[in-house]
Every structure is written in structure tokens, then in C-alpha cells.
Chain A
């Protein structure tokens, strides 16, 4: 309940901060001269768009009060969808200006003779459009996640910075001191968040290094990194959570990767923790297998609310496949370590028997605890008597226990798998609030 209140509070605060410049503008309206309704609407669209852009960074800069309420996954999705909303508002801004007789050349010809204040606005718009294109089309354009992170940071800075220079230069509403102070505070807040994210957090992490103890090759092209805290007491997490892993020379390197804990949350005396990373090319394919025992790495975390510890129920149904299996395995290991008597049913979708990561371990866990694993193979071996094809409604019905409607469901896997489950489970009668999802495929 407290989390829900905090969630509602954060949401209202976010909404208020976005419309606040409009409220101030309406209260201190500086332009008694006749301006058309569409021109004022253009101002409103620009202000709302810029405010959304300015707060985009706050959504993904790992502020714990927000991520604890919604989960990092939901915040990432919110961030993405709000960027479309911001783009729509920002595009509406010049469109309405053209209705009021402004010259199209301002946008189409970068060398036009318009004042700098307008050129900043144009630059901001183009940076935003390029940012959206690169985010939607990263994979199709074959840009690595690492390069994309760089472009995203630079383009976002240009988009927001350009927008601020634009409104300060126009000096209509920002001709008022109160409005200049307000946007100045937003810019300062953004700057502080940036310093916290790029300097303060890495500095704190630098003092808490981790050492790679083992780098184990798993079935299904995956590596498990076992880490040990060096000179500090380590990290407590709950099953299903993740941390940002930094394998650069220092934690100040821009490159970071969100990785699920794969081990049990019931840590033993050694305080060793483990992460399992699927080989998806780039960093996970080139760098991770090369990591040697003794190397130093850094962690920022734990994050995430995708956990049975947050969602109590008479039993758990876990549905996963591919890269998504890691947090689910952490859940199974933890529940077994705790000798939790509640039933756990894991539906594990995989291509073939040989590529099933954690297969041996899951079999051992199902001997130790109240755990059952249903493998669903796309390309089963000849003598396979288990489930074939994909996880469908028929497969689920065959294995779900009685009164499964009261269980908690955790879904983590490839995007198409998740989309199917999000439709299928409610159709089977699982209430929406008992279906929990996590995606790591951010862009």
C-alpha cells in the first residue's frame, strides 16, 4: 500500500512538474498584445514537449524512490512511450507556428537567416528526431548497444540544451524573471541528476569493487560470472532483481549492462554472487567470455521489483525462455534454499535440448524442493516425450495446477514470448495484477 501511495505521489509530482511552466505562464501572462489562439497553443506544445524531454533523464537515472514504486522495467517503458508523446508535442510546435505564418525555411534550410534563438529550436528538433530513429531502429541499423548509449546521451543533451537556449532566446514568456528562474531550476536539477549519475554513483561504486572468482561456461551459449566483494560486505538482493554490471577499466566508463542475478538470494558466508549472461553478440559475446578470474568489476544495484518476495501467493508459475531464464532460476534457487513449501511450476521454452541453460541444476532443484519444470522444445530430439513447439494455452492447461488463478505469475523471455503470454494468461483467467513481466531488451 505504501508503495502504491508512493507510486501515485511520484506520478502526480511528474505531471505537476510538466505542466508547472504553463501554470506560471498563465498566471503571469506577459503578452497583452493580441496573439492568436494557435500561436499560444504552439507555445504550450513546445513547453510541454521540452518539460517531458527534461524529465526523461530522471526516469532512467536510477532514482530509487521511483524505481522502487514502479520497477525499472516499467520506468524504461514509460520513458520510451513518453519520448513519443514529447516528439508529438515538439512537432506540433513548429506546425502551429507555420499556421501562424512562420517561414518553413526555418526548419528546412539550416543556413537560413533566422535568429540564433530559432536555430537552436531547429537543432533541438532534429536531435530529437535522430534520437528516436536511432532508438527504434538500432538493431536494423546494426548499431551496437554501446555506441547507441553514446549517441543517446549526446543527442538527448543537444535536444534538451537546444530547447532551453531556444526558449531563453525567444524571451517571450521567458522574458519574465519567474519563468527564467523556473526553467533555470529545471536545468539545474537536470545537471545535478547528471552529476549524481555520472560522478557520484561511479565514485561510490569505485570504492566497492568486486573480483571475478570464476567465469563458467554454461549450456546454451551463456557465461556465469561468480563475484566476490573486495573490502566491503557485498550486496543483498531479492530473487528476480538485477544490477548494472561495469566491466570497463573504471566505473566511470559509460558502458554498463543490466544483468539479472542468477544465484540464490540466500547468500552464504562467502557473500559470493553470480550473474549469468547470454551471448547476444557485442559485449556479451566478445568481452564476457574473456573475463578472467581476478579481474575487477563494479556493480550498481540491486534494482527491480520483479520478485516473488514482493508478490506473495499460494504458489508461483514462472514462464521463461532464452535470456529471460536467469531471474527465474534465481527465484527457484532461492525458494528451494529457503525450503519454501509452496509449489513452483516453471515453463521453460527452448529451441533444443542441448541448448538449455541450467538444465542440470534445475533437475537437481526439482529433486530438492517443491519445483516442477516443464520444458517446451521447438526442435525436440527424436525420443522426446515432453512438450513440443511453443508455450501455448493447451500446454499451460495441461500442466497448471488446480486453483492456479490465485498463483503469482512471473514472465521473462524474448519479446514475442512475453507478448503472447500477456494476452494468453488473462484469457486463461489469471488476474492482471498477478502477472509480472520483465524485459531487458531496452532498445
Chain B
């Protein structure tokens, strides 16, 4: 497996995790 693919997968995962964290914080913070 090519190393560039791994880096791309990590980048993609990081974006998903940041988005997920933000959604979580928005959902649980009382408005």
C-alpha cells in the first residue's frame, strides 16, 4: 500500500473527527 494513501486517509479522518467534535459540542451546549 502506498504511503501517500495512508497520509490521505489520516487527513480525511482528522477532518471527520474535528467535524464530529464540533457537532457534539453544538448538540450538547444548551441554546
Contact = CB atoms under 8 A, between A and B. Distances in A.
Nearest to A82: B10
B16 A41 contact: no
A74 interface: yes
B13 to A, nearest CB: 6
B21 A74 contact: no
Contacts of B9: 11, 78
A31 B10 contact: no
A26 B28 contact: yes
A422 B4 contact: yes
B30 A22 contact: no
A180 interface: no
Contacts of B7: 81
B13 A15 contact: yes
Grouping DSSP codes into helix (H, G, I), strand (E, B) and loop, the A interface class, with mixed when no group exceeds half, is helix
A44 interface: yes
A414 to B, nearest CB: 15
A22 B6 contact: no
A19 B8 CA distance: 19
Given A70-B1, A77-B6, A305-B1, A31 B13 contact: no
Given A432-B4, A437-B3, A81 B21 contact: no
B29 A35 contact: yes
A48 B20 contact: yes
B24 A22 contact: yes
Interface in A55-81: 70-71, 73-74, 77-78, 81
A436 B25 contact: no
A74 B29 contact: no
Contact of B6 (A15, A25, A26, A81): A81
A29 interface: yes
Contacts of A11: 9
Chain A interface residue bracket vs B: 35 or more
Given A78-B6, A432-B4, A19 B17 contact: yes
Nearest to B26: A37
Contacts of B24: 22, 25-26, 40, 43-44
A48 B21 contact: yes
A129 interface: no
A290 interface: no
Given A432-B2, A435-B2, A437-B2, A44 B21 contact: yes
Given A41-B21, A74-B3, A85 B10 contact: yes
A15 B20 CA distance: 11
A18 interface: yes
A210 interface: no
Interface in A5-46: 11, 15, 18-19, 22, 25-26, 29, 31-32, 34-38, 40-41, 43-45
A34 B9 CA distance: 36
Contacts of B13: 15, 82, 85
Given A29-B28, A436-B2, A437-B3, 20 more contacts: A15-B16, A22-B20, A22-B24, A25-B24, A25-B28, A26-B27, A26-B28, A34-B30, A41-B21, A43-B25, A44-B21, A44-B25, A74-B3, A81-B7, A82-B10, A82-B13, A85-B17, A422-B3, A422-B4, A435-B2
The 7 closest A-B pairs by CB, nearest first: A44-B21, A40-B25, A74-B1, A41-B25, A22-B24, A81-B10, A26-B27
Interface of B: 1-7, 9-10, 13-14, 16-17, 20-30
7 contacts: A15-B13, A19-B20, A22-B20, A22-B21, A48-B21, A437-B2, A439-B3
